[in-house]
Structure formats: structure tokens, C-alpha cells
Amino acid sequence: MTGLVVCVAVLAVASAFGLMQRRRSGRMKVRQGEAALGAAQLGEALGDRATLVQFSSAFCAPCRATRRVLGEVAEMVPGVAHVEIDAEERLDLVRELGVLKTPTVLVLDAAGHIVRRASGQPRKADVIAALGEAV
């Protein structure tokens, strides 16, 4: 009987933790004090007004959906570029920026400063709102 109680307690705690992580995933967070990123680091030119940087990996299903969302937003808003970086190929940049999971999305202003960051798949509305801060 004691084993059953322990098992139920562990399942309850694990479920609560999972729900909390799911709720936080993809939320855009304000970032300040980080160094600016340039075209040399990203491997592509920055957008005139803002840049959406996506760190992806080959077998990441949310990365494909994020690619689609960021591509649509970049096409919608003039002067915004979408840059996708393979996290496995750019481990130096991943470590420098503290990317812990894919997809990770950075919203850069015209100068390359990080204004927002999301770990996990962001919602389209959140990306558009973050761009409002960057431009």
C-alpha cells in the first residue's frame, strides 16, 4: 500500500512539473544586457528593421512549425529577416547564447541587440508583439 501511495505522489508531482514546463514553453521573455549579434556571427545579413533568429535541430518537429510561423511573420512585416541556425553546426554560438533547447527564437532589433527570447515554439501573435518592441 505504501508503494502505491509513493507512486501516485511521484506521478502527481511529475504531472504538475510537466504542465508548468508546457505553460512556460514558447513564451517571449525580455532580454537585456546581451551583446549584439552581427551578420558575421549569424552567417546572414540582419534585417533592416529587425531579425528573427531561430536555433533548430534536424529532428525537431516544433522547429518545422516555428520555421513556418517566423517565415510568415518575416514576409508580413517589411524589413524583417528570418535567419535559421542549425544548433548542431554552430555549437560555439549555442554555448555563447546559452541555448538549451530547440527551437529557441531570438528577436533582434536593427542593431542586432536581443530584445526578446523564447525557448520552445512561440505563438505567431507573441512574435508579432515582440517585433513591435524591436522596430
Distance CA 12, CA 5 (A): 11
- Mean pLDDT, 10 residues at a time, the chain of 135 residues: 63 55 57 76 94 94 96 95 96 94 95 93 93 84
- To the nearest 10°, report the CA torsion of 27, 128, 41, 117: -20
- Dihedral over alpha carbons 18, 127, 51, 133 (to 10 degrees): -120
Say what the pLDDT of residue 134 is.
79
Residue 82: name the closest of 50, 57, 112, 114 by CA. Answer: 50
Instruction: State residue 21's pLDDT score.
Output: 53
β-bridge partners, 56:
86
pLDDT recorded at residue 31: 58
What's residue 26's pLDDT? 58
- Residue 36: the pLDDT is 85
Calpha distance 57→65 (Å, rounded): 12
Give pLDDT, residue 24. 53
With 0.75 as the threshold, say if the pTM is over it.
yes
